[in-house]
Each structure stands twice: as structure tokens, then as C-alpha cells.
Amino acid sequence: MLRHRSFRPTLMPDQSRLPTRLSVAVLLGLAALAAVKILIAARLPLLGDEAFYWLESRHPAAGYSDLPLMTGALVRLGTGVAGQGYLGVRLAFLALGAMLPWLVYRLAREMAGPRQALLAAGASALLPLAGTLGVLAVPDVPLVIFGLAGLICMIRAVEKAELRWWAAAGLFASLGFCTHYRFVALLAGPGLYLLLTRRGRAQWRGAGPWLALALALTGLAPILWFNVRHGFAGLEYQFVERHPWSWNWNGARYLLVQAVVVTPLMFAVSLKSLGDAIGDARGGSVAAGIGAWFSGTMLAGFGAAAFIADTDHMSAHWPLAGWVVMLPWLAGVLPRLSPRFMRWLVPASGLAGTLLLLAYLAVAIWPSRLWSLTNGKVFPDDFTGWREAAAEVRGLRAGANGGPELLVAGNFMLAAELAFETGGRQPVYSLDHPLNRAHGRGLQMRLWELGERSLMVRHAGERAMVVIEDSRLGIGDRPGWARRLCTLFDGLDLIAETSLFAGRRQFLAFTGRVRPEHRPLPPGPLASGDCDLPPYAYLVTPAPGSVIGGDGVDVYGWAVEDNQGVAGVSLLLDGKPVYTPHYGGIWPDVGRFLGDSRDPSHPRVAFFGHWSPDAVPAGRHELAVKVRTEDGNVRILEDRPVTIQATPSE
């Protein structure tokens, strides 16, 4: 329960001076948080998106197919100062993220005394996504900072009626438009305030709002420049292709995700803070009015959009600025919580969420530890595997036969990561993967002449190393995507496989000669020597995490190979063969499921049997499928943990 006491925009007598011990504690805490963020940012491998922004920074332009210019420009600034490393890519974002507590303090000072403002600044560490802001080089960092700075300027402009503050608000809005199309969501609330409230409408009688609007619209120039030149591809991706715009109940899940990422208690208290802000706005507070419109519109807007948009493309961090703007009121709500222990429990839960997120990012630097701790249930897939794939490429090139210099990646993300991890000394081409279109990056790779068509035009007949991220696609799509390589390269030969964390991250390396154009594949099995592809398998039972008792377990699955077919299948336990199921059972739907598989044994591609783990020690073990092909190749697939149950005699 809360003991109601309205938030007062004027200074309280006991707030006229800033307590020294409180200020020291808050500043030391924020400094420690900043230091931890720097340490993590300097060691954590890049996300695929971050690697692509690094690629954008090496191709300066007014805009790109996914974003305007700001993110790439900030990466370029950071790498110019700190070099082409993880810290260099993230340096400018860390600097902007460090400004967040100060901006929250300035926002709170528009309506309260220094003590409450300092508490609000410290509370920025209690929102996990705000406390970790800047660790990753993503556009939401400048988006939040420019939005918050512009909000402060607008509040001062309305209160002081000074043209300079309107100009500053317009400039920050312009910078926001240069950052992301989504900045329009941050302007919706202030815009509605100026249109729907009496005091807001009165501002239009002066020159200030018109000046701010004119300056803000200059930020649309890069967006319009790119879209006019490229058939409005950026706008189409952001507002048409990404979302179905049809009703779905997954929006409820998105609201639940918000409660989790804000942390449940902070979520509830933040909503209460929004209610207090609305109450203060009715009492005449300009800051409360603009702040409430900003947060309320943003939170309600994204919450409503979740029911008509694709929640897989709606990220949990999108409404972050709306939660941050409520921190000045939250600092007023916390001391009034009842019972008294809630005054410590709520901020403690928020801080725990921030520390947990920092710990997750820190452990992602050493993913093997997180894998062993959580048995793969919590795993940073998007941070892992890139360094190992790049190391494999360097190793193949340094080998006795030497790998080809021409490097081709299966998708834009892998292309960007390989380019970064290999020092950016040569271009890395990307094939036309479904992921490119899903992320709006296919057009950009073509514009940089790093796409599939440019590869075929520029390098026809040249030998290339082709690296694909096999684990990026579902099991049903992997063989078909591998077969597609045979339409692009002659003499395709699998030369290496990197499989990490029980197959969670898999990369395949091939060599082949670039064809000048696509070729259709002949019907039937593919010819060995011209298109050597790996076998694929799927183990239905035992499922991952199965508990296997003394009576054993049924073994059931399928295995295919598009050249000469599969010779046999065996089960491995902790790397050692323990059982050979029968191969050749009928599974009529596998060929269709795999997209016209060319295995000569279809539909007899199933394996089955019953395995009893006699003489196997009880406890956790790693089970896998070993596939042997007719031409003698071997591949280990479908790694999974299983638990062998102790028999009564044990």
C-alpha cells in the first residue's frame, strides 16, 4: 500500500541542500557501475547487429537499408579513438550511456529538489536495461539519450518561453531522426501535449514550436535521401515487411516480458509513478504534463502495437525511454511505500535485475561456463561462435595447402562478424540468405557490392572459401540451403566443421569455384566430387534432457545424405559408441520436409531400435548420433544431455 502524498514540483525546505553522504554514495555506485560496463564491453564479442553497424561505419553514408546514419557514425567515432576492437566499437555508446544518470538528475530538477533528483539519478541503475545502457553498440543508446535531452529542453521551453530551448529541443529531435525511424514514438507524447492540452496549444502562438519543428524535420533528410533513391526500401522494411499488422494475442506475452525486464516490483511502482505524474499534471505542473504524455503514450503505444505487430520483431528494450522518464516520480514514490520493508525490497529487486543482466553479459565472455551452469537452458547464442569460426578460417588459410583468399559467408551477420574478427583487411561476401531479408540488410549488402550477384560477376571462376552458419536455420531447412550452394559453386568440397556447445553453434567451411550464374541441379542424387554435402540427422527419441532407466529407451530418428546416401547410424555416449540402431526404416514425409532431399534411399531413411544402458554409470551424460555415409564420410550430430537413472542394485 501507499500513503498518498502528491508530488510537489517546488523545492521542499529540507531539499534545498544536497546531503554529502548521499551524493557520495550515489556517485560511487554509478562510477562502479560504469567501470563494470567498460570492462564487459572491452571483452564481450560483438552481437551480429553490432558487427553490421561496424561494417556500416566503414562505408559512411547518409543512410542505410536498416537505419539512418547515426549508429554507424558513432561506431566510426569510437574506433577512430580506441581502435578496431570491441571497446572501440562500443566506446561512443558507453559515453552516451554514462550520461543517462545526469540527464535523469536534470529532468528531476525541473520539478523537485536536489535530494529527490539525486535519488532519481541513482534509480537509473535500478532498471536493468537502463543500468546496462551503452555496453552494446545499438541505436537505442543514442535514441534514449537524445529523447531524454530533448524532453528536458522542451520542458524548459514551455516554462521559460525562451527560443533557445525550443531550438535545442528541435536539434535533439533532429539527431533522434538521424538515429532510428522509431524515434517518432518518442515524439508522439510531446506532440500530443502540444496539440491536445490548453497550455500546449498556446505555445503555437509563438515562434518556438515552429522553430523546433523545422529543426526536427532536418533529421528526416538522410531518411528521405536514402528512401527516394532506393524505392522507399527502408520505410517498407520498417513499417510493412517487419510486421503483419493483424490481431494476435502474443501481445499479452510482450506485456509480460516488459514486467520481467523492468523487474516485477519496479514495474508496478513505475506504473504508480505514472499515475502520480498524471496527478501532478492536473495540478498544473508543466514537467509532469509533458513527462506523463511522453511515458504514457510510449508505454501504451508499444503495448497496443504488440497485439497487431510481430512480437518476434518487437524488442523488449523499445519502451525503455518511457520507463526512464518516470524515474523522478519513482524517487518520490519509494519513500512512501508501505509496509516499510518495501522501500528497500523494490529498489533491491531492481538492482538485482541489473546485476543479473551484467552477470549474464560477463559470463557470455566465457560461454562454456554459462553452458555448464545452466545445461544450455540459458545461453548467449548471438555472442558465441564468431571468434571460433574466424579462427577456423585463419587456421585453414595457414594450413599446408592454404585456403583461398576469397571469403564468402552464408548470411550478412556471419559476413560482418568474419570481416570484423579477421581484421577487416578484405571484403567478405554474403549469399542471399533468408536472414538478410528478415533483418532488412539484403539490399545494403547489394549496394556495397558484397552480395551474391556481385560475387558472381566479379569473381566467376575463382576459388573461394564458403562458410555457412548451419545452426542459423531449422533442421528442415539446412539440407536445402546446403544444396543451394551447389548452384553457386563448382567442385564444392566440405573441408571443416566447427561444432560448439552440443551443436548449438555449427559452422561449415567449403571450398569451390564461383559460378558466373546459377545452375539448376539435375534430378536424383548429387554427384560426389562436384557437390560434396554433409549428412544430416534428427533424433526424435530420446529427447534432450531425457531420464533413461534400466529398461532402456526407444531410439528413433532419420538420417540423409544427398550424394551416395547413408551407410549406417550409431549412438555415442560421451563420445564412445554404445548402440547401433537399424537404418533403413520407412519415413515417407522426410523428403518433403527437407525440401526435395536427394538421398537415394528415400523413403527408407529412418533408424530405430531399443537401447538399454547396461553398465553405464548413473548420472548426466552426453548422447549424440554418428552418421557414416556410403563414401566413408562421418559426421556427429544431435548432441544432447541425458541422465542415466541408477538401477536398484546400484
DSSP structure string for 352-386: HHHHHHHHHHHHTTSHHHHHHHHTTSS--GGGSSH
Strand extents, DSSP E, 127-276: none
Q: What pLDDT is stored for residue 180 in this prediction?
A: 95
Q: What pLDDT is stored for residue 615 in this prediction?
A: 81
- Mean pLDDT in order along the chain per 10 residues (650 residues): 41 51 90 97 96 96 94 97 96 98 95 89 96 97 98 96 96 97 95 96 96 96 94 88 77 88 96 95 94 96 85 79 96 91 95 95 87 77 90 83 85 96 92 91 95 95 94 86 90 89 89 90 72 90 89 92 91 93 87 78 92 88 93 90 74
Q: Which helix (H) or strand (E) holds 275?
A: helix 264-282
Residue 373 included in any domain = no
580 with 481, same domain: the answer is no
Beta bridge partners of 345: none
Residue 422 included in any domain = yes
**Is residue 562 a contact partner of residue 586, using CB atoms and an 8 Å limit?**
no
436 with 573, same domain: the answer is no
Q: What pLDDT is stored for residue 314 in this prediction?
A: 67
281 with 328, same domain: the answer is yes
Residue 508 included in any domain = yes
Residue 109 included in any domain = yes
504 with 545, same domain: the answer is no
324 with 453, same domain: the answer is no
Q: Render pLDDT for 265-300 as a digit per residue (tens, 0 to 9).
A: 999 999 999 999 999 999 999 999 999 999 999 999
In whole angstroms, give the CA distance from residue 62 to residue 58. 13
393 with 255, same domain: the answer is no
Domain with residue 589: its CATH number is 2.60.40.10
Q: What pLDDT is stored for residue 539 in this prediction?
A: 94
Residue 470 included in any domain = yes
Q: What pLDDT is stored for residue 400 in this prediction?
A: 55
172 with 217, same domain: the answer is yes
Q: What pLDDT is stored for residue 112 in this prediction?
A: 83
Q: What pLDDT is stored for residue 5 in this prediction?
A: 42
480 with 613, same domain: the answer is no
Q: What pLDDT is stored for residue 9 in this prediction?
A: 44
In whole angstroms, give the CA distance from residue 13 to residue 290. 25
Residue 119 included in any domain = yes
User: pTM (2 decimals)?
Assistant: 0.91
457 with 556, same domain: the answer is no
Residue 8 included in any domain = no
Residues ≥6 apart with Cβ < 8 Å to 133: 96, 97, 100, 140, 141, 144, 320
Peptide bond into 542 cis (omega under 30): yes
Spatial CA neighbour of 502 closest among 623, 364, 639: 639
Give me the torsion for CA of 580, 584, 587, 592, rounded to 10°.
110
Give me the torsion for CA of 506, 512, 518, 519, rounded to 10°.
-110
324 with 402, same domain: the answer is no
Number of domains in the chain: 3
In whole angstroms, give the CA distance from residue 514 to residue 369. 40
190 with 247, same domain: the answer is yes
Residue 366 included in any domain = no
584 with 501, same domain: the answer is no
CA 251 to chain centre: 19
Beta-carbon-side half-sphere exposure of residue 355 (alpha carbons within 13 Å): 8
Domain that holds residue 183: 13-360
* Sheet of 505-514, strand order: 428-430, 406-409, 463-469, 505-514, 489-500
Residue that has been written with the C-alpha cell 541422465 in this structure? 643
